[in-house]
Amino acid sequence: MAYYDWVLTFHIMAFMSWMAMLFYLPRLFVYHVEHAENEGFKEVAKIQEYKLYKYIGLPAFWATLASGVTMLILDPQLLSSGGWLYAKFTALIALTWYSFSLETYRKALADGTCTKSGKFFRAYNEVPTFLALLIVGYVIFKTFSWAFTLITIGIFAVIADLILDGKEKKK
């Protein structure tokens, strides 16, 4: 257990780096889509999107995953700590799917085949916030609560609706 705290520290730092990419890449997608007529801007955006995903996000994802597995190996009792850990795993699976979906969108934007709007990416940008809130909440409180989960989903739905409605009214 002497190394556990060091691995936990690394895990938190890796998670923060991964989340930075998850928060910023969809924002770049918004700019990319909304400035599609500006070829110079699009080329710079493509470079930024590629480097952010490949050099920051993907390594941080793998570091988060490896350090999380290492923590489970160092302290297998965590697996019997209750439903909160499995709720965290579920949110983590969703966050992983989201992360890889960003690469799909990045490639589509790079080759000019993406049909999603800036409004879509603005709303999509809220997904990691919702999932991170669930993950951190489960870890801090070490309990699974349907109330916490449903309230978080409700807040996310309201925010997404406000983003989508706000963009519709401007058009």
Tens digit of pLDDT for each residue in 84-124? 888 888 889 999 999 999 999 999 999 999 999 998 999 88
CB 18 within 8 Å of CB 57? yes
Q: Is 11 annotated as a binding residue?
A: yes
Domain boundaries, the chain: 4-170
CB atoms within 10 A of CB 27: 12
pLDDT tens digit string along 23-61?
Answer: 999 999 999 999 999 999 999 999 999 999 999 999 999
Q: Taking 80 as the threshold, does the pLDDT of residue 164 lie above it?
A: no
pTM for this one?
0.84
- 35 among annotated binding-site residues: no
